[in-house]
Amino acid sequence: MDTKFFHLSLFFIGTFIFTGCKECEGDTFGHSMKLVVPIDTSPSVDTFTVGDTLWVEADIDKYVAVEDNDERIFLEAFNFFTTLIISEISDTVENYAVEIEIIEEIGTVEILDLPTLQVYPLFFVENDDAYLFKAGIVFNEPGRYYISFDTEPESYKFYEHPAVYLCEDTRRNDMDVGYRNTSTTLEAYENIFLQTGVDYLLQLMDYPRYSSIGTHSLIVKE
C-alpha cells in the first residue's frame, strides 16, 4: 500500500472519530439509558377487603432520574408508555381478567386485550413542571394479587423525541423505564408473591426485578 495513502486514510478515520465524539460529548447518558420513574400505590398495606380501593398516583418531575447516573434528564412532551398490570395469582396460572372497577381522577386508563393477557395503558397529564396521574382500583373479588408497571422498550425504537437521540441523528441503542414504588416491600414479596403456584413467576421474578417494576403484592379478603 502506498505510504502516503495509508497515512491519509488514518487521518480521515481519526478525524471522523474525533468529530463524532465531539458532537456527542454533551450527552452523559450513553447509548443505553434507563429512566427511573416514581409511581406509588396506596394505602401501603398488604391486606384489603372486597370493595376497598387501591390508589395509583404519579407526580413525575420533568427532571427525570436516570439509572446509574447522578444527572437527570429534562423530558418535555414525553411519552413514558406506562402500562399497569393487575394479575390474580392464587392458582397455578395468572388471571388477568380480574373483577375490578377503575376510578379516574387525573389522567386516563385504557384497557388493552392482548393474546395472552389484559393490561391497562396509563396516560398522564402534563403541566409545566411534571407529569401527573391518579386513579383508583376497586377490587370486587377476593384473591392474591400483584400490581406492577411496565414499559415495553420496543416502544422507543421508532419514537421521535430528543431524548431517544445520543446526538443529532444518532439514536441510542436502547431506552427503558424502571418504576420506583414506596409500597414495594421485601416482606410482601416473600410472604405473598412467592406463595403463588405460578411456577414461571417464581423462576423469573427475583426481588431486584420485582422492585424494578414497582410491584405491590396484596391479599383481598371477603
Report pLDDT for 167.
Answer: 86
- Enclosing domain of residue 84: 31-221
Report pLDDT for 24.
Answer: 64
> Domain check: are 16 and 107 in the same one?
no
Exposed/middle/buried for residue 212 (C-beta within 10 Å: 0-12, 13-18, 19+): buried
> Domain check: are 143 and 192 in the same one?
yes
> Domain check: are 7 and 74 in the same one?
no
Report pLDDT for 21.
Answer: 43
> Domain check: are 17 and 125 in the same one?
no
> Domain check: are 7 and 63 in the same one?
no
The pTM is what? Answer: 0.86
> Domain check: are 202 and 149 in the same one?
yes
SS3 category, 96: coil
> Domain check: are 91 and 10 in the same one?
no
Exposed/middle/buried for residue 157 (C-beta within 10 Å: 0-12, 13-18, 19+): exposed
Report pLDDT for 152.
Answer: 95
Domain count along the chain:
2
d(CA 128, CA 118): 33
Low-confidence ranges of the chain (pLDDT < 50): 3-22
